Amino acid sequence: MILKILFISSLLCSCFYSQALFADWPRHRGDAALNGYSETQLGNSLELKWSYDTGDYLKSSVVVENGVAYTGSEDGVLHAISLKTGKKKWTYKTEMAIEAPPLLHDNRVIVGSTDSFLYSIDQKTGKLQWKYETQGEIMGAANQAVRPKSKDDVIVVGSYDNFVHCLETISGKLLWKFEAQNYINGVPTIYDNKYVVFGGCDAMLYVIGLEDGKNIRSIEVEAPIAASVAIANGVGYVGDMDRSVTACNLETGEIIWNYRQKSFPYFSSPALSDRQVFIGGRDKGMHCIDRMSGKKVWRFSARGRIDSSPVITMNKVIFGAMDGKLYLVSRKNGQEITSYEIGEPISSTPAIVGQNIIVGCEDGNVYAFESKGNK
């Protein structure tokens, strides 16, 4: 009897843990390695649950924690929205546009603005905790890590001042900064809890130490990088602003493969499964690439370019396109499962929270969908 009770208790805890694990989306690519992956299984149809009007143009992606969704808008306002009702909980005004996705960590909303400041806002109250000034626009999300030796909880963020800045989470105090040779547009990726990896508009891929910001390796790629690097098993995957998706061994600096199609840029960041890379291009295609060989597996054609970074689940790829549609396509063969026409361009990354998909649109609205039907 005792064993039976323990088994049921363990099962219930396991179920609760699974639900909790997939109940939040605190980073706009899901995790610190920016893999864009969720283990949830979405249904095959979409039902609009609510929409929230930010009042201005919207490019920032949505993040979610504890039943609240957060995003920024072009008028410089950070919005906290009830996931249940779609109603405003609070707003906070910065001086210029917010295009960077927020980061949720330690009961804080960490968000950069084109006014050059990185802000730490209390998640519950919407009150400012600290702000840190870079010398350029912040266009990409911050990332969070723990330094391997000092064990400091830190925030890393790139800026158009050409630097990656590492700050103490609790105070916003600068711990170190690393200078690239041009703008940093994407999100710094955390690798192996020891390194920060990012691409720059100087056509370089950098691996620097998380502890001290020292340069470990600089790897030349074919063109400037506007997006973020996804990392798995010591390999970084990233698209550039010319026509190439590159896989690079981060330990040696060796280029493993380059995937090239026609001459068009990638502003989308890749999502990774165990065998494949998924990335949107300005050729209006969602590309599925074999991770080992760099060969095309399939390509899905939308009616507008795809700057939205895809998110993958157990069997689906979810992304928006500039044709105004939110797409769900099959991971296996790239066939469209369903789509929802919003009607205005979608360049942000979807957030996956349970059976819900939350996405911002350039019409200024945040849309919350529930997936239903067969999985």
All structural domains of the chain, each given as residue ranges with its CATH number in brackets, are 27-58+275-375 (2.130.10.10)
What is the rounded CA–CA span in Å between residue 226 and residue 269? 9
Residue for token digits 């208790």?
9
pLDDT (average), residues 145-152 = 96
Residue 4 pLDDT > 70: no
User: pLDDT tens digits for 192-213?
Assistant: 999 999 999 999 999 999 999 9
Residue 203, both tokens: 């056509």
pLDDT band at 374 (very low <50, low <70, confident <90, very high): confident
Q: Mean per-residue pLDDT for 226-231? A: 96
Helix, strand, coil percentages in the chain from 3-state DSSP, rounded to 5: 5, 45, 50
Instruction: For residues 357 and 168, give the distance between their C-alpha atoms in angstroms, rounded to a whole number.
Output: 32
Above 80 in pLDDT, residue 8? no
Report pLDDT digits (tens) over 104-144.
999 999 999 999 999 999 999 999 999 999 999 999 999 99
Question: Is residue 267's pLDDT more than 60?
Answer: yes
pLDDT at 9: 38
Token code pair at residue 263 = 């001459």
The pLDDT value recorded for residue 283 is: 95
Total-model pTM: 0.92
Judge whether 120 and 108 are in contact, CB under 8 Å: yes
User: What would the pLDDT profile of 309-358 be if each residue is shown by its tens digit?
Assistant: 999 999 999 999 999 999 999 999 999 999 999 999 999 999 999 999 99
Confidence tier at 11 by pLDDT (50, 70, 90):
very low
